[in-house]
Amino acid sequence: MVVTRVNANGLQMKVVEEGNGPAVLFLHGFPETSYSWRHQLRALAVAGYRAIAPDLRGYGGTASPPEQEAYSAFDGVGDIVGLLDALAIDKAVLVGNDWGSTLAWTAALIRPDRIRGVAAIGVPYMEPAPMPPSRFFPQNEDALFYTLYFQQQGVAEAEFEGDIALTLRKILFAASFDAGPRIPGDGTPNPFSMVSRRDGLLGPLPDPEKLPDWLSEADLQNYVAAFTASGFRGPLNYYRNLDANWRLQRAFAGRRVEVPAMYMVGEQDVGLSIPGMREIIAGMKDNVPGLIRSVLIEECGHWAPQEQPEQVSDTLLAFLGELKDLP
């Protein structure tokens, strides 16, 4: 793998790539970096593709703009287009997980001229809600939804940066298949649900005695080094732009994602516990007419590219093969 620094959309971006051939651009989620795609980069390079994974703005080795408003999904699309320009790539297939899926869907919606296809993991395509997200996320006297907990500058940063290794160990474990079955209401730890006003997000999460099989100590330390360098302010600012994204997306109301697409999700992905999420997934083809397939990955949580790397890579390669046959 080759690690470079690329000037794209006014940012210095860390970019990892491997292989030659048609371009496939991988977009990570929270709290991850380009390292989360290590298995797919190798598998696609071997299969004859140019596999590229940047650290997104605010993460790891990529610059972190100081302004909170610089982290909208539309700024992220600008980074995608700028990176393609910098690498002299006309079109690419986008592969996203978590926040990376949101960016991939948004790019396909507003810049289909640069996108050959989208493969989204975890986060389905969703129409804009009837009101700003901050108005319908739940909260009560004791707890608030995690996206609301992330809104106030400095609060989640202080909690997460107090012990970065502990933060990542807890979050990565709690959202993985290894943490146990997701049965709504059974109290299974979920870092992306309600947050205690008293104990914060990390307090109720277990600190695993051993790391999951898919995450070695060396893997964890790679993430720790990245977030030690960047901190959490930039990554959390993505959540602080949810209402701004909603306002901007209204300009594209009624527009559909027309490029070829596929979706996959782990059977124990914490996102499936959000009310209405399964219905959104089931009806996604109404707004993504080019959706080729949806795949449920067994024995898998939120970190599918790392938890089930072979299945994710094989599914991506099958999708890429189908794209070759399309006009």
Rounded Cα–Cα distance for residues 317 and 164 (Å) = 34
Enter the DSSP assignment of 139: B
Which of 75, 219, 269, 302 is catalytic? The answer is 302
For residue 39, indicate whether it is catalytic: no
Helix pair 73-86, 99-110: axis angle to 10 deg:
70
Catalytic residue selected from 55, 75, 98, 219: 98
Q: Facing residues of 266 across strands?
A: 297
CA distance 101 to 210: 29
Q: Which of 182, 183, 173, 193 is nearest to 274 (CA)?
A: 193
Instruction: Identify whether the C-beta of residue 13 lies closer than 8 Å to the C-beta of residue 84.
Output: no
Which secondary structure element, helix H or strand E, spans residue 103, and what is its range?
helix 99-110
Contact of 306 with 215, CB cutoff 8 Å? yes
Contact by Cβ (8 Å): 48, 21: yes
The strands making up 2-8's β-sheet, listed across from edge to edge, are 2-8, 11-18, 50-54, 23-27, 92-97, 115-121, 261-266, 291-297
How many Cβ atoms sit within 10 Å of the Cβ of residue 121?
Answer: 30
Measured from the Cβ of residue 21, the count of other Cβ atoms closer than 10 Å reads 13
Does residue 302 have an active-site annotation?
yes
Residue closest to 265 by CA, chosen among 232, 308, 317: 308
Q: Which residues pair with 263 in a beta bridge?
A: 120, 294
Residues in the chain: 327
* Rounded-to-integer distance, Cα 317 and Cα 277, Å: 26
Q: Are 13 and 65 in contact (CB under 8 A)?
A: no
Which residues are annotated as catalytic? Answer: 98, 302
